[in-house]
Amino acid sequence: MLADLPAAFDGDRYGAGGVVAELEEETARLLGKPAAVFMPSGTMAQQIALRVHADRSGRRGTAFHPACHLLHHEELGYHHLHGLQEVIVGDASRPLGLEDILLAARNPENIGTLLLELPQRDLGGRMPEYEDLLEQVALARSRGWAVHLDGARIWEAAAGYGRSPAELANLFDTVYVSFYKGLGAIAGCCLAGPEDVIAEARTWRTRHGGRLVALWPYAASAKAALALRLPRMPSYRDRALAIARGLLRIPAVVVLPQPPQTSMMHLVLPIDLTTFEQRVAWLATERGIWTWGAPFPGAFGSAALGVRVELTVGDATVAIDVAEVVGAIGYLAGGDSSALEPG
């Protein structure tokens, strides 16, 4: 990838041409959308998408789940920068259901857009059943709402549903996809959708300060990550399922959800933070296994007490034997290192 970067630089200036344009075209093709625009961050991309939809509908309300990323991890930028209003829909402990959207539709509160996240990270990568998803989108459209996908991990969601990214993205008006989450690129994302919407989003990218003089390193990294890891998504999910099956032998560990729906899951370990940090350090120094630097901050979806961590299966996890992964997690939960002994 490094060897290709000088060539990638040619033609790219302020996010136009060169490898940036190539990545946008490739992303639009993968998602089955007419156009896509590269942006430095998902926070920027999603605010812009919601703003464009709100301006077009004349309605400032966006309906989304209580565990939505915009609500908990972005300092409410959609409200402070764009004057958009959230309409919280559903129960924080589970994915949205059709009944939740029906309730919101009876009390529309100026809703113009429905935002869905697939999979929902703060719920351990949970997703609604595919037929339920179809009904939710159809209901939103029947109310005249735009439908936007927080598809930061659409690559994992598509593998979880056993469908192509384009088949999943086709349900939505606009889709945001990340290149560093799951795929492992440096940073950056794309917003995909109709040509007129994406053209307007490009203008907003400039207003947000996202039209950097050189975006090509991020785009080159994203292209390399797509080529390398997108084909591996089904195998990552298979490995996640195998690990979750192995953890059934350790009742003290709560797996959310069990079984996993994608290549990610949350684990609740029945220990305190100090013990967690001590055991993480022991695994790293004595066994050469790195697990987690810190617990996951969210607490949606479980009443269990303990330390909550997020396991996302990727190349590093696949490179370790399932039994060793299960043994390491078992040690964190109970302090028994026997499963880690050679042989």
- Give the pLDDT confidence of 171-226 residue by residue, as tens digits: 999 999 999 999 999 999 999 999 999 999 999 999 999 998 889 889 999 999 99
pLDDT of the residue at 17: 83
Could you tell me if 108 and 207 lie in one domain? yes
Give the whole-angstrom CA distance, residue 170 versus residue 154: 12
Could you tell me if 48 and 85 lie in one domain? yes
Where is the domain boundary, 185, 212, 229?
Answer: 229
Could you tell me if 52 and 144 lie in one domain? yes
Instruction: Tell me, rounded to whole angstroms, the distance of Cα 71 from its chain centroid.
Output: 15
Where is the domain boundary, 229, 257, 285?
Answer: 229
Q: Which two tokens stand for residue 329?
A: 């997690």
- Mean pLDDT for 69-95 is 92
Where is the domain boundary, 229, 247, 272?
Answer: 229
pLDDT of the residue at 343: 39
Beta sheet of 264-269, edge-to-edge order: 254-256, 264-269, 307-312
Domains of the chain: total: 2
Give the whole-angstrom CA distance, residue 166 versus residue 296: 30
| CATH code, 114 | 3.40.640.10
Confidence of residue 106 (pLDDT cuts 50, 70, 90): confident
pLDDT of the residue at 33: 98
Confidence of residue 105 (pLDDT cuts 50, 70, 90): confident
**Average pLDDT of every residue of the chain:** 92
Give the whole-angstrom CA distance, residue 61 versus residue 14: 32
Q: Residue 286 pLDDT > 60, yes or no?
A: yes
pLDDT of the residue at 14: 76
Q: Residue 325 pLDDT > 50, yes or no?
A: yes
Could you tell me if 225 and 242 lie in one domain? no
Confidence of residue 299 (pLDDT cuts 50, 70, 90): low
- Mean pLDDT for 323-334 is 95
3-class SS of residue 117: strand
pLDDT above 70 as % of the chain? 93
pLDDT of the residue at 304: 54
Confidence of residue 341 (pLDDT cuts 50, 70, 90): low
Could you tell me if 189 and 255 lie in one domain? no
Residue carrying structure tokens 């950056």: 188
| CATH code, 280 | 3.90.1150.10
Could you tell me if 29 and 142 lie in one domain? yes
Are 268 and 304 contacting, i.e. CB atoms less than 8 angstroms apart? yes
Confidence of residue 107 (pLDDT cuts 50, 70, 90): confident
Domain that holds residue 206: 2-229
Residue carrying structure tokens 């993205």: 169
- Mean pLDDT for 91-108 is 89
Q: Residue 8 pLDDT > 70, yes or no?
A: no
Could you tell me if 122 and 31 lie in one domain? yes
Task: Write the pLDDT tens digit of every residue in 217-275.
Answer: 899 999 999 999 999 999 999 999 999 999 999 999 999 999 999 999 999 999 999 99
Could you tell me if 243 and 134 lie in one domain? no
Could you tell me if 38 and 176 lie in one domain? yes
Q: Residue 7 pLDDT > 70, yes or no?
A: no
Q: Which two tokens stand for residue 20?
A: 């940036």
Could you tell me if 239 and 180 lie in one domain? no
Could you tell me if 225 and 260 lie in one domain? no
Q: How far is CA 257 from CA 94, 126, 175, in A?
A: 10, 7, 25
The pTM of the full predicted model, rounded to 2 decimals, is 0.93
Could you tell me if 190 and 41 lie in one domain? yes
- Mean pLDDT for 311-317 is 96
Instruction: Read off the amino acid at residue 213.
Output: V
Are 325 and 317 contacting, i.e. CB atoms less than 8 angstroms apart? yes
